[in-house]
Chain A
Amino acid sequence: MPERKIRVMVAKPGLDGHDRGARILARCFRDAGFEVIYTGCHQTPEQVAAAAIQEDVDLVGLSCLSGAHRVLFPRVVELLREKNASDIAVIGGGIIPEQDFQMLYDAGIQAIFTPGASLDSIVEWIRTHVRTGN
């Protein structure tokens, strides 16, 4: 039986439009063999959750550089939970101070990748932690 393709979504919730990192990640994931749904910036958490379900992704990668992660990231997790889609993993990146990590983990974010994290390490994490088709 052929292996499942990993499907991931890269999204920027909130008003921050700095998408350099998100775009690099999207390209990198494609080069790693994933199917990447890139939904761009200026997304509401509701749009992100709705898209994730429609696309049946294994993972949603959220990027935020404006400090709004504390409100927006947990909201995405919550919305997925409400729609019975908590099997979709959510990871985050951007400008996130270490003191916010625990609060985000508690809210259901599975990993946080801040500036300096290598692209390969993110791909590795996804390959080891994501169980496709769950």
Chain B
Amino acid sequence: MSGPETDGRGKHHDMTETTQKICAGDVRSASRLIRDLEDKRPEARRRLRQLFFHTGRSFIIGITGSPGAGKSTLTDALISELRKQQKTVGVLAVDPSSPFSGGALLGDRVRMLRHAEDTGVFIRSLATRGALGGLARAAGDAIHVMEAMGKDVILVETVGIGQQELDIIHHAHSIIVVLVPGMGDEIQTMKAGVMEIADVFVINKADRPGAKQLRTELASLLNASPHGPQDWIPPIVSIGNLYEPENFAKKTAELMDAVAKHHAHLITSGQLGERTERKAVMEITDALRACILEPVLERLIADGELTKIAKRIQRRETDPFTEAETIARRFLKTGETP
């Protein structure tokens, strides 16, 4: 588990040294580990295991909304606010991979340029690589790496709406949903899941026509949903023109304040514990999937057995349920490690 390891370069590499570097905040090692996790390098998971004990101490904020809602610009403003409060910040900017080529154009950094040289800010772009929930598969891992680096706050900016943004709920403590008037994302057209996960709503570009109506609709929808006395009612922050600097700064401070209040609420109401427990359940589920299901599948594919089974199902010589039970018995009962 510990001790010298060799990586692809043939260099000997003390794993503890890498994890130490990451805990000390070394950007390159952290970014490289995120990459290794994205590329599913075997040694990466071992390193993450070592880092896990240093995670769980950051405040994680998710930012989601349709494309063109101005999420990156808001993220940029939030970074400034947090730096004013002397907090260190990690940012994960997620963009979709092309389903055709597998490549991705990651352009969110462009809107956060002014923080490029601030050593208190670490911005990392991630591609979804086919994951459907709007978040990269490796996002959870990447968040852990940033936590281990000691970042006070981690901002996770996800791909736009249209899909259900439910992935983010498993990773973030507070979730900001960004809406823009007149872009066709009126509340009725949005998937129910998105409305329910929001802890704070932002109406961005609120100087545009339709902003008032959007706010009214949103407010009435929130009032109509049932909630108890302990419950948090998501506030709505309207943010106007980016280029009216004083007003914009005031509004982003208001947003930061709303988020901070939500965080405080989570703690006092005990919900923070619920959320982190839910996250832990998700993590163990994912880990089990990676540990049990994926190796089994890989084995079946490598042996050609999966294709054989599929053909028999096609010809209705067997059914998937019987096959699954057989396979499960084979791998679990005999104690054969997949």
Contact = CB atoms under 8 A, between A and B. Distances in A.
Nearest to A47: B116
Q: What is the predominant secondary structure among interface residues of chain B facing chain A?
A: mixed
Interface in A73-121: 83-85
Nearest to A55: B125
Contacts of B28: 53, 56, 83-85
Contacts of B205: none
Given A50-B116, A56-B31, A133 B105 contact: no
Interface in A14-45: 26-27, 29-40, 43
A133 B35 contact: yes
B98 interface: yes
A56 B8 CA distance: 16
Contact of A37 (B106, B113, B129): B106
Given A1-B40, A2-B40, A5-B38, A31 B27 contact: no
Contacts, number: 96
A128 interface: no
A50 B117 contact: yes
Interface string B30-72: 0110111011111000000000000000000000000000000
Of the four ranges (under 10, 10 to 19, 20 to 34, 35 or more), the interface on chain A belongs to 20 to 34
Nearest to B102: A33
A7 interface: yes
A72 interface: no
Given A1-B42, A133-B36, A47 B113 contact: yes
Contact of B31 (A5, A27, A47, A53): A53
B99 to A, nearest CB: 12
| A36, A43, A84 — most chain B CB neighbours (10 Å) | A36
Interface residues of B, number: 35
Nearest to B31: A56
Interface in B95-131: 97-98, 100-107, 109-110, 113, 116-117, 122-125, 127, 129
A51 interface: yes
B9 interface: yes
A39 B117 contact: no
Contact of B124 (A27, A33, A40, A54): A54
B33 to A, nearest CB: 9
B201 to A, nearest CB: 29
Contacts of B105: 26-27, 30, 36, 38
Contact of B107 (A1, A7, A32, A38): A38
Contacts of A37: 106-107, 109, 125
Nearest to B42: A1
Contacts of B129: 5
A7 B35 contact: yes
A49 B125 CA distance: 15
Contacts of A129: none
Nearest to B116: A47
B113 A54 contact: no
14 contacts: A30-B101, A30-B105, A31-B103, A32-B101, A35-B97, A35-B127, A38-B105, A38-B107, A46-B116, A50-B116, A53-B28, A54-B27, A83-B28, A84-B28
Interface of B: 8-9, 27-28, 31-32, 34-36, 38-42, 97-98, 100-107, 109-110, 113, 116-117, 122-125, 127, 129
Given A5-B129, A32-B101, A56-B32, 18 more contacts: A1-B40, A2-B39, A5-B102, A7-B35, A27-B105, A31-B101, A31-B103, A33-B101, A33-B103, A36-B105, A37-B106, A39-B113, A50-B116, A56-B34, A56-B35, A133-B8, A133-B32, A133-B41
